[in-house]
Structure 1
């Protein structure tokens, strides 16, 4: 009888222990299942994937949160429709330049104003960390909706080995630049590789020459668009004339340039058939598959126009930003990711991988793992006055832009259909006529 009682008692204890163990396991499993998976969609057409993977891995390790990355080179085109439906939206979206203010006005974006007051380092908030000129662009109707993503240095990418072997100097002025073009052609080398399908890349140079003429303050005044007179700036004509004089001289270009795509233009440069390439700080990432081992890549800022008001100005290609959709599932985790990715260590990690800056106040040095090309980029970024072609005026970002009559007049100028002076005159008249129209 005693044995039977003991057996029953032991069985009871065993069953209770098993039940408790199962309950504990179920709770652990339930907790595991409840852990958020932060979904981040990003445009990888320019800076690739490595930077976001590295930052996500560091964030996951520190915060014990899984991150799902969704790369999409067409994300900009899809974002508006995705935000409008609010279905299956990611928690964070990294986008290139778009009309985000329209999304904010419709309630598609989560208000990040509280995040701007978050500590980002020792006695420093996120708001204080962002460069002042960019910060002004991040708000709409008194609230912050975006976090800056990319900054950029634009210029002529050049073959350092070729320049060194031929004793070619980096030109400081346009006069020097025309001398350089002659020296390059005398060696039987094509001066500049660019793509007809990406003729808009010339806007990097055009905006810089324009800004050199008008100065930083003059460009800020233009972007405010207080009246149609902003479109009459002389710098616009000078910049387009430089484009015409260089690009329309076919001896400066790769053959059949209008029918060449960007990839083929890059290959012409990286095979040393051309000495320079239009581009910016992203080229080391974007063209990684075309860069031969040992190729010495450099970047020079665009040479200064005659009588430049501000010769040392870098017109950033910035415009990329991160947003949290208003219908995102894991907003708190998303906010922490954006805060974490804006700390010094993550800013440096981003720049180490991409060779590009972000529009925050931080320092990079050779000891931070920058490539030689990255050091060139940061030297230009640090010594120049950086201009962000960003405006809060809806007349600019929603209606007119820089060249409202044809979006971009470069192909018409290249083909001889229109002169730089007429482009500027026509755009001014168009803006003046339509200033008050809906």
Structure 2
């Protein structure tokens, strides 16, 4: 089935080249139909029904046919194979159905550079300038590493250091920008009321990616993450990565880690932090909803800070998640699909999505546009993008062969417990990951 799908996609992509044309005044056509395929996740369908209605109302003569389902990938796969690809897709490249990954592999998605270099829906500037810094350049949007955009960002979810804004305000504390300031704050908060500097979701150390990837990007540059994501030799055991790993180990070595952290689960450590036992915890915007019934210290108010850097004026990377939109190269109405994409970044759309989901589009203005639709906690946490020199950072690994026994994320994050317990050095940590990467490369070579 995979070979048949791939071959069909290649044929569709080639045939599409003969029908694609420059941007035209699509409205000149009396009647047009737009076929869209939407993954229905936790946000439900309210927002999408609104967008279909609003788009049809504002574009006379346009009929939008929407298919929305939790299994949309399985629905559209045979359609694509049969030469009936939807015009617009809302589905992530990480979906288990593998549809978007197959389209990427076969170069069967439409290049979207003209959409982002063109005017935004309001006509106030380019759409590219509206998108949160760092996202369009990521492999989530430019999958071939050449800055050519084939997937458009949907919503974004920043992750970083969660803290109690009230505690910081009442004690006139500055959020640390550098590692030196971070550790100095650890001494300060201990003197104030005995709280630890930091905790994390101990038995689920994967949460620490929210600290590790920005730390490595700060030491080595974003390109270093691309090498790690592709399991390149030497990508994880080098001077810069070792420096980032050392900062993490210093949290425990210097007494800044909340006692008992490594044995806690996510809700336990998050509750301890909210009760004032630790100043920071790594997490994302979902923590407010997840912990809505948890006890907390008086006046607790969520806020989020970027991971510290070596120097205050360095880029402060914000680990991010990002869902995606795409237009197949074989779309029958690509220009109308592009117009629909532009429309989705409009203020009206951004506000409606925030109201329906409590989340925000990956645009710089979304936080203020949808302010009245957001809780105070979510509004505060999305403020991380407005920190000086903040830039979104997305990390995703290349797929390993089906018979490969290595889980890259487990190899990277599971050792954190041993590192924090002083049972493993950072050098051993780095070399163990390198050994795992070597096995992945060997399995990839064997699979080819």
TM-score range, shorter chain: 0.5 to 0.7
State the distance in 2 between where 1:127 and 1:191 align.
38
Q: Structure 1 pair 327/274, CA: closer, same or farther in 2 (3 Å)?
A: farther
Q: In the alignment, which of 142, 148, 153 is matched to residue 148 of structure 1? A: 153
Matches within 5 A, 1:22-37: none
Q: What does residue 163 of structure 1 align with?
A: 168
Tell me by how many angstroms 1:158 deviates.
0.9
Q: Structure 1 pair 355/174, CA: closer, same or farther in 2 (3 Å)?
A: farther
Matches within 5 A, 1:232-243: 232-243=237-248
TM-score by length of 2: 0.64
Q: Deviations over 1:327-359 (max 9, x none)?
A: 999999976654422224433555688776544
Q: Structure 1 pair 139/206, CA: closer, same or farther in 2 (3 Å)?
A: closer
Q: In the alignment, which of 29, 41, 57 is matched to residue 50 of structure 2? A: 57
Determine if contact 2:201/2:261 at 8 Å carries over to the other structure. no
**Secondary structure, in 3 states, of the residue corresponding to 1:245?**
helix
Determine if contact 1:314/1:381 at 8 Å carries over to the other structure. no
State the distance in 2 between where 1:159 and 1:312 align.
24
Tell me by how many angstroms 1:168 deviates.
3.6
State the distance in 2 between where 1:169 and 1:197 align.
30
Q: Structure 1 pair 42/230, CA: closer, same or farther in 2 (3 Å)?
A: same
Q: Structure 1 pair 366/191, CA: closer, same or farther in 2 (3 Å)?
A: farther
Q: What does residue 135 of structure 1 align with?
A: 136
Q: What does residue 301 of structure 1 align with?
A: 306
Q: In the alignment, which of 302, 320, 334 is matched to residue 317 of structure 1? A: 320
Q: Structure 1 pair 210/107, CA: closer, same or farther in 2 (3 Å)?
A: closer
State the distance in 1 between where 2:320 and 2:54 align.
32
TM-score by length of 1: 0.66
**Secondary structure, in 3 states, of the residue corresponding to 1:317?**
strand
Q: Structure 1 pair 430/131, CA: closer, same or farther in 2 (3 Å)?
A: same
> In the alignment, does 2:170 pair up with 1:172?
no
Q: Structure 1 pair 128/252, CA: closer, same or farther in 2 (3 Å)?
A: closer
State the distance in 2 between where 1:301 and 1:133 align.
14
Q: What does residue 349 of structure 2 align with?
A: 346
Tell me by how many angstroms 1:179 deviates.
2.9
CA RMSD for the aligned pairs? 5.0
Q: What does residue 14 of structure 2 align with?
A: none
Q: Which moved more, 1:227-236 or 1:59-68?
A: 59-68
Tell me by how many angstroms 1:398 deviates.
2.8
Tell me by how many angstroms 1:419 deviates.
1.7
Q: Which moved more, 1:369-378 or 1:238-247?
A: 369-378
Tell me by how many angstroms 1:397 deviates.
1.9
Q: What does residue 21 of structure 2 align with?
A: none
Q: Deviations over 1:244-277 (max 9, x none)?
A: 22256777226364342x2333333334444322
Matches within 5 A, 1:257-406: 257-260=262-265, 262-284=266-288, 287-288=291-292, 290=294, 295-305=300-310, 308=311, 311-323=314-326, 338-347=341-350, 350=353, 358-360=361-363, 362=365, 364-365=367-368, 368-369=371-372, 373=377, 374-375=379-380, 377-378=382-383, 380-381=385-386, 383-390=388-395, 397-399=398-400, 406=411
State the distance in 2 between where 1:223 and 1:83 align.
32
Matches within 5 A, 1:80-91: none
Q: What does residue 425 of structure 1 align with?
A: 431
**Secondary structure, in 3 states, of the residue corresponding to 2:175?**
coil
Q: Structure 1 pair 334/195, CA: closer, same or farther in 2 (3 Å)?
A: farther
Q: In the alignment, which of 41, 57, 73 is matched to residue 39 of structure 2? A: 41
More helix by share: 1
Q: What does residue 61 of structure 2 align with?
A: none
> In the alignment, does 2:207 pair up with 1:201?
yes
Tell me by how many angstroms 1:297 deviates.
1.8
Tell me by how many angstroms 1:317 deviates.
1.3
How many residues align? The count is 386
Matches within 5 A, 1:69-80: none
Flag the structure with larger Rg.
1
State the distance in 2 between where 1:410 and 1:67 align.
45
Gaps of 5+ in 1: 1-34
Gaps of 5+ in 2: 1-32, 58-63
> In the alignment, does 2:218 pair up with 1:212?
yes
Q: What does residue 17 of structure 2 align with?
A: none
Q: Structure 1 pair 348/420, CA: closer, same or farther in 2 (3 Å)?
A: farther
Q: Structure 1 pair 101/67, CA: closer, same or farther in 2 (3 Å)?
A: closer
State the distance in 1 between where 2:124 and 2:216 align.
39
Tell me by how many angstroms 1:302 deviates.
2.1
State the distance in 2 between where 1:361 and 1:407 align.
32
